[in-house]
Structure 1
Amino acid sequence: MGDIAVRALDAYLNLLEQKGAAVEVVLFRRNILRRLVQILRGQPRNRDVYRSAINALLSICPPGDRPAAMTAAREYYYFWLGDLQQLAQMNARAGFTTHHVRLPVLASFADLQQRMSDENFASFPPSLDIYLGKLYELGADDEVLAERAGLIKPLLYLLHDQAHHPDSFRTAVDAMLMHLTDSYARDSFLTISREFFYYWMTFPDAGVRHKKATLA
């Protein structure tokens, strides 16, 4: 590995340790990102190269490790680029995860939708209706509302039974991105997920609210 890439990786892992990441989390990310750096060796530093390297990395990861690998690669990106301004912005908005979140192993977005249908999954928190209601008030038409709901509901399926924590949300978003192969769908989902994050954090279901009240 090149010296710059090694220093970038060390800087990323040191940041995770400072934020309280467990030893096993840091070890997993060290091992997975060493593979990514090997794939990137000798390549120009740009988004397209990095995206292709992530795809190559995910292809050799066990399915259960892919969401966590995607999270690690996304967070490492600006370290690899050496973009200090973006890193400062990510740090300011708590954009780094320190937990290892395990999600269902799925083959594709269609597989995710089929599993939801097979389970008759409809356990959505109040945040979904509140978010869609706000869009309606702002003038969104039925097509826009259906598109948003169609992307948010699978995300909420992945988040079901996960800790109500930003790390869970970010990892679930990364898992969704792996299954959205169309670039327009990926970009749309990223925008939607950023909008929806505030609602998901602020308006959880009754079980989460009760647990928070008990701990208060």
Structure 2
Amino acid sequence: MTQETVISVSLKAYLQLLKKNEIKKSDVARSEHFARLIISKLGEQTITSVAYRNAVNLMLNSIPDMYRSHASTVARELFPFLTSDFKSVALLMSTGNYRGIRENCEVLFDCNIKSIDEMLKITEVAILSERESAIHSRYLSYLSTLGIAQQAIHTRARLSKAVMYLTRNIDLDNKSYSALLDSMLPLFSLEETKKYLVSIAREFYFFLNEDINAPAQAAASFEKSNTTISKQPQQS
């Protein structure tokens, strides 16, 4: 995707998240205005912490003092969407706080992921803890009972591991998990592929929570899914 497209889908995801969090319509509209101002100040620059901070400062200097507090909040919230920083988005939703614009993004694997292929490469080399391995193995055992193609099992195994990796150090609940998924979706250009990820994530959620009835609950979710699992979509 071009940077213009990335910015467009990131802004859309941010606004959808505000609406899901039951933010007032007037506040959402104002937040969108400030977000678009920041984006206009960025222009065609590559999105780095330095470039973003400069754009934010230009934006803040262009608006009345009474709006700067709200605009600063928007600036803190928007940044992880623009850089595909999934963990910060989920943390923002689960706690209402954000850790701030990070200076050393490159030290964190998941800070600036630009594509689904890049995300999968990063998470595939990640070493799972003993607990994570047990959870993932339980999910793989469940997949073997579905009677789906081996290629589909492989794809679901890769995507579920990526989801597990990105939920590390997050207090997992429905809201933070939904936020994490919303922030991942802009990496996929095809609607079919987005639905495929959501269907996998819904099933895997029961295993992540170590629900004793996870296989049965996941199977019920599998049956309700609108995605044809045996015909997996392209990863794009």
TM range (shorter): 0.3 to 0.5
Per the normalisation by structure 1, the TM-score is: 0.48
Q: Hey, which of these two has a bigger chunk of helix by percent? A: 1
Per the normalisation by structure 2, the TM-score is: 0.44
